[in-house]
Amino acid sequence: MRKSPGLVPNEDILCVGFGWRQQPLRTPSTTRVDYACKQGFLPVPAQRARQRRMVAMIGWLKRMRLLRCLPAAVVLTAMPPGGARELYLSFDDGPDPQYTPALLDLLRQHQVRATFFLIGSKAERHPQLVRRMLDEGHRLGNHSWSHPDFNRLSLAGMMDEIDRTDRVLQAFDGVLHHGVRPPSGAFSLALTLRLARERRRLLYWSYDSLDYQHRPPAELVAAMRAQPPRPGDVLLMHDDSDCCTRMLETLLPQWRSEGFEFRPLPTGADLGATAEGVHA
């Protein structure tokens, strides 16, 4: 077993028997890390707010450290770059009747296939959008039933959210178990181990577009150009606003001209296959 220095014992347990590799995780800016660096006197309510942000930040940093050491068989963050210039676009929090159709139009126009991590209750409410995704070659992932805070749920509560969503998605694509992307990326060791035991996998991301930050799309595009994604990166985006569509109107032609291809992530039965063998 190869060990990374400084791992806590629970994290070491997950490295046993899976092999180990450093997984990439990047964002185009350091906004989140800046939280931890801010100092200075603040009024009491602001101090409490800062403490809450610090607690959230520490949880996020712990998850990032855990993600970097978990094997891809348990949590996939990026695909092996291989010889081709491939990117894996993923969209969370849909389907959304207001914003998803325009995104699907844009993806079809550029012949891009992607992965949609759906909220189960929304998929049930908007079946026509789910069918359109599949008809146009996209794949489905599991983003829980109601997008709760997984940090506040028991393992049974998390599995209920995931299993209920899998049952709805299975009615569309026939896949028994979909790759799981937990809401806001929050997951526990218990959930990771439970899914791994059932040969199911967390599908994370390696590149955060920050499209949920309510910043102008042009500003986010500039940040991504300053630190562009690399072949094999899994890009995190959201189709519950028009931000990602506006960003992709600029970025897709650019990435195409740079020779990038776009693939959906492995999901369902081919999740158990080797990462190199799942391009579709």
x/- letters, 182..211, toward Zn ion (CB under 5 A): -x----------------------------
CA atoms within 13 Å, Cβ hemisphere of 125: 11
Nearer to Zn ion, 92 or 161 (CB): 92
Q: Residue 132's CB: how many other CB atoms inside 10 A?
A: 16
Scanning 154-162, 167-175, 178-186, 208-216 for contacts with Zn ion by CB under 5 A, the matching segment is: 178-186
Scanning 31-39, 86-94, 100-108, 125-133 for contacts with Zn ion by CB under 5 A, the matching segment is: 86-94
Scanning 11-19, 69-77, 84-92, 209-217 for contacts with Zn ion by CB under 5 A, the matching segment is: 84-92
Minimum distance from residue 58 beta carbon to Zn ion (Å): 21
Nearby residues of 56 by Cβ (< 8 Å), 6 or more positions away: none
- Cα distance between residue 133 and residue 116, in whole Å: 8
Active site residue 92: yes
Query: What DSSP designation does 233 have?
Result: B
- SS3 of residue 139 by DSSP: strand
Looking only at the bridges linking them, the beta strands covering 234-238 and 115-118 are unpaired
161 in contact with Zn ion (CB under 5 A): no
Scanning 99-107, 149-157, 176-184, 269-277 for contacts with Zn ion by CB under 5 A, the matching segment is: 176-184
Minimum distance from residue 274 beta carbon to Zn ion (Å): 28
Nearer to Zn ion, 115 or 260 (CB): 115
Question: Do the beta carbons of residue 239 and residue 116 sit within 8 Å?
Answer: yes
Active site residue 211: no
Q: Which of 143, 208, 238, 240 is catalytic?
A: 238
Nearer to Zn ion, 11 or 93 (CB): 93
Nearer to Zn ion, 109 or 213 (CB): 213
Nearer to Zn ion, 11 or 240 (CB): 240
Q: For CA atoms 78, 279, 121, 125, give the dihedral sign.
A: positive
E strands in 52-100: 75-76, 86-94
- Cα distance between residue 255 and residue 190, in whole Å: 38
Nearby residues of 38 by Cβ (< 8 Å), 6 or more positions away: 50
Minimum distance from residue 239 beta carbon to Zn ion (Å): 10
Minimum distance from residue 92 beta carbon to Zn ion (Å): 4
Q: Which of 92, 96, 211, 239 is catalytic?
A: 92
Interface positions, 87-116, toward Zn ion (CB under 5 A): 92-93
Give yes or no for a cis peptide into 43 (omega within 30° of 0).
no
Minimum distance from residue 51 beta carbon to Zn ion (Å): 25
Nearer to Zn ion, 94 or 217 (CB): 94
Minimum distance from residue 94 beta carbon to Zn ion (Å): 9
190-224 per-residue burial string, b: 16 or more CB within 10 A, e: under 16: ebbebbbeeebbbbbbbbbbbbbeeeebeebbebb
List active site positions: 92, 238
Task: Give me the residues that bind Zn ion (CB under 5 A), please.
Answer: 92-93, 183
